[in-house]
Amino acid sequence: MSPRRLIVGIVALLVSGCGAAAQPQPGVRFVAILPVPVDQASRAVLTFDISDDGRLIEYLLLDLTDLECATVGAERSNFVQLVDAPIEAGRFTVESSGVGVLSGQFVSPTHARGEVTLHIDTLGALTNFIIHDPDASCDLGTYQWEAEAAGEAPSMPTAPSLPSEVVP
């Protein structure tokens, strides 16, 4: 093979691999810290659990600390929802009444990235909150995220731990 054909083949291989998605590690929990402005929440953690067969995002969890939105406020609030969203060719989109829209892809079996638009329906989506306006919703914005696998997904999902809490 000529050097020119070899270089063209390598470039074609690299270009075809760009943006390629991987399948996630089955049965694990992925965790992402969201860059929400501190005047809206001092901490925002998005978590999602992968099914044992690796084909679905089973649960979506959102944990917010010091939430202040035009419509709701909470010292610590969390949301857990069974979503059973399919993962197709390593990509996914989840629409949730308590979170908004989460989309992304797995770049390796233990790493994912994407975008989330946080739109929280105040009618029962969060726990431990104060409703300032029962007819409104809470829009916290759109954020890029990166998540890492953080161990096995629990059989019954719970909110993520604060950094100071001890995880069993």
Q: How big is the CA angle at 164 (ends 32 and 59), to the nearest 5 degrees?
A: 35
Q: Give me the pLDDT at residue 120, please.
A: 75
Q: Is the pLDDT of residue 17 over 90?
A: no
Q: Give me the pLDDT at residue 94, please.
A: 94
Q: Give me the pLDDT at residue 3, please.
A: 52
Cα-based distances in Å from 94 to 10, 53, 105, 111, 159: 36, 18, 12, 17, 18
| Residue 126 or residue 40, greater confidence | 40
- Kindly list the structural domains of the chain, giving each domain's residue range(s) and its CATH number in brackets, ordered by start: 19-152 (2.40.128)
The proportion of the chain whose per-residue pLDDT surpasses 90, expressed as a percent, equals 41
Q: Give me the pLDDT at residue 62, please.
A: 87
In the predicted model, what is the mean pLDDT of residues 46-72?
A: 88
Q: Give me the pLDDT at residue 76, please.
A: 73
Q: Is the pLDDT of residue 10 over 80?
A: no
Q: Give me the pLDDT at residue 91, please.
A: 97
- Report DSSP state, residue 71: S
Amino acid at 53: D
Q: Is the pLDDT of residue 160 over 60?
A: no
CA dist., res. 73 & res. 88, Å (int): 36
Sign, CA dihedral 119-95-146-10, equals negative
- 19-37 pLDDT tens trace: 578 999 999 999 999 999 8
pTM of the model: 0.75
Other residues' Cβ atoms within 10 Å of the Cβ of residue 104: 25
Q: Give me the pLDDT at residue 166, please.
A: 38
Q: Is the pLDDT of residue 162 over 70?
A: no
- Which residues are paired to 93 by β-bridges? 103
